[in-house]
């Protein structure tokens, strides 16, 4: 990048003050104000309020009762919370890597400039912009054990006892994960595609002259050059996956036997079905802490594998 960033000493030695600069600072804050106010009212205040609520018993209607850390203590012993933590972890670890690898492969295929690229790019992106409810309802039909497309297909292939996809505790979570991967590939694909198009062609040319094969070019040029994109996609996907909710809400209701119940769905149940706002807020803070730690770790490790040009 050619833009020069003033160094620390430069900034300090630059003559301070001056009416012009003060006016510019004010103007800058003026432009930032709408966003800052929105952030303050709709993000920061609720987050702080949730911390306060998590230390109370509150059923929404009567005034909150201060209970200190009781909600967090109960949470630590709640077998259902352990179960939803486990489900969410399996979901995150299962969907994010698979989804990213598939998205990268699709992006590379679409980056070849073959005929039909435009169509396939739109096709892969379609699920991202389709209503989650519509997707879940169609996939319910696909998964239907007796009448679904999937089992009819397996039956034709000679599988006499195909899985009871959404009704068995063994297959319900994997079923939901498969659907999620399909649904989210498009988002990562578009980002990877943009990343791929930003890799300068001259690097490939140089490598080709040096005798690098397609696999070597992928490994030593594409992968390192894509690391900033990969990092971004990874962070966003991890955060999104920890917050998985729609699938459990629409497809399975968290069932069977809580096999697809997730952290956010359980928060929803406690808050808006059982009216345990304090308990739900405590869960929300635990989720926040988990996502925060995971994200901080990701940023810390960034310098080891992400190459900025």
Partner 1 sequence: MRRLRALLVTVLAILATGALAQTTITWSFWGDPGELPPNDAVIAAFEAAHPDIKIEKEHAPWSSYFDKLQTEMAGGAAPDVMFLTNVPSYAARGVLEPLDGLIAADGFPVQNYAPGSLAVFSYDGATYGFPRDNDTTVLYYNKDLFDAAGLAYPDDTWRWDDLRSAALALTKQDDRGRTVQYGLALEKNKYPTWVSQGGGSLFDDPLAPTTFTMDSPEAIAAIQFVADLILKDKSVPSFDAMNELGSTTELFSTGRVAMVMTNAARIPTFEQASFAWNVAPLPAGPTGVRANSLGGAGYVMSSASDNKEAAWTFLKFVSGPEGQAIFAESGLAVPAYLSPETGAAFASAGPEGVDRNVFMTETANGVLGPQFPAWREIEQTIVTPGLDLVWNGEQTAAQALAAMAPLVNAKLAEAAGN
Q: Which of 33, 80, 206, 296 binds partner 1 (CB under 8 A)?
A: 80
Q: Per CB under 8 A, does 131 bind partner 1?
A: no
168 binds partner 1 (CB under 8 A): yes
Whichever of 145 and 239 has its CB closer to partner 1, that residue is 145
**243 belongs to the binding site for partner 1 (CB under 8 A):** no
**Span from 203-211, 216-224, 232-240, 270-278 in contact with partner 1 (CB under 8 A):** 270-278
269 sits near partner 1 (criterion: CB under 8 A): yes
Q: Which is nearer to partner 1, 192 or 246 (CB)?
A: 246
Residue with Cβ nearer partner 1 (54 or 95): 54
Select from 43, 59, 131, 197 the one that contacts partner 1 (CB under 8 A): 59
In the complex, the smallest distance separating the C-beta of residue 19 from partner 1, rounded to whole angstroms, is 49
- Based on the shown chain and the rule CB under 8 A, indicate whether residue 147 belongs to the binding site for partner 1: yes
Nearer to partner 1, 60 or 101 (CB): 60
Q: Which is nearer to partner 1, 140 or 217 (CB)?
A: 140
Q: Which of 60, 69, 93, 133 binds partner 1 (CB under 8 A)?
A: 60
Instruction: Check binding of 222 to partner 1 (CB under 8 A).
Output: no
- For the chain, give the DSSP string: --PPPPPHHHHHHS----HHHHHHHHHHHHHHHHHHHHHIIIIIHHHHHHHHHTTEE--SSSPPEE-TTHHHHHHHH-HHHHHHHHHHHHHHHHHHHHHHHHHHHHHHHHTT--TTHHHHHHHHHHHHHS-HHHHHHHHHHHH-TTT-HHHHHHHHTT-SS---TTTSTTTHHHHHHHHHHHHHHHHHHHHHHHHHHTS-HHHHHHHHHTT--HHHHIIIIIHHHHHHHHHHHHHHHHHHHHT--HIIIIIITT-STTTT--HHHHHHIIIIIS--HHHHHHHHHHHHHHHHHHHHHHHHHHHHH----
Asked if 256 is part of the footprint of partner 1 (rule: CB under 8 A), the reply reads yes
Nearer to partner 1 among residue 42 and residue 155 (C-beta)? 155
Residues that bind partner 1 (CB under 8 A): 59-62, 79-80, 140-141, 144-147, 155, 164, 166-169, 254-258, 269, 272-276
């Amino acid at each position: 990048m050619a833009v020069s960033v003033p160094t620390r000493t430069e900034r300090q030695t630059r003559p301070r003050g001056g009416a012009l600069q003060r006016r510019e600072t004010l103007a800058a804050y003026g432009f930032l104000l709408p966003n800052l106010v929105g952030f303050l009212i709709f993000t920061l205040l609720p987050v702080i309020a949730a911390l306060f609520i998590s230390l109370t018993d509150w059923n929404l209607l009567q005034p909150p009762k201060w209970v200190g850390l009781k909600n967090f203590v109960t949470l630590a012993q709640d077998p259902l919370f352990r179960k939803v933590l486990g489900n969410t972890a399996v979901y995150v670890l299962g969907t994010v890597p698979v989804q990213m690898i598939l998205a990268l492969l699709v992006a590379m295929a679409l980056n070849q400039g073959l005929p039909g690229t435009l169509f396939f790019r739109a096709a892969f992106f379609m699920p991202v912009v389709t209503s989650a409810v519509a997707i879940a309802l169609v996939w319910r039909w696909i998964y239907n054990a007796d009448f679904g497309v999937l089992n009819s297909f397996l039956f034709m292939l000679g599988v006499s006892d195909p899985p009871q996809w959404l009704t068995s505790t063994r297959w319900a979570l994997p079923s939901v994960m498969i659907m999620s991967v399909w649904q989210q590939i498009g988002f990562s694909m578009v980002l990877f595609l943009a990343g791929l198009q930003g890799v300068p062609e001259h690097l490939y040319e140089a490598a080709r002259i040096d005798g690098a094969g397609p696999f070597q070019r992928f490994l030593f040029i594409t992968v390192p050059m894509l690391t900033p994109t990969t990092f971004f996609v990874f962070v966003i996907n991890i955060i999104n996956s920890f917050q998985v909710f729609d699938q459990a809400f629409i497809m399975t209701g968290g069932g069977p036997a809580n096999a697809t119940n997730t952290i956010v769905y359980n928060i929803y149940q406690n808050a808006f079905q059982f009216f345990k706002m304090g308990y739900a807020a405590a869960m929300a803070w635990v989720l926040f802490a988990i996502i925060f730690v995971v994200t901080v770790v990701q940023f810390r490790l960034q310098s080891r594998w992400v190459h900025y040009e």
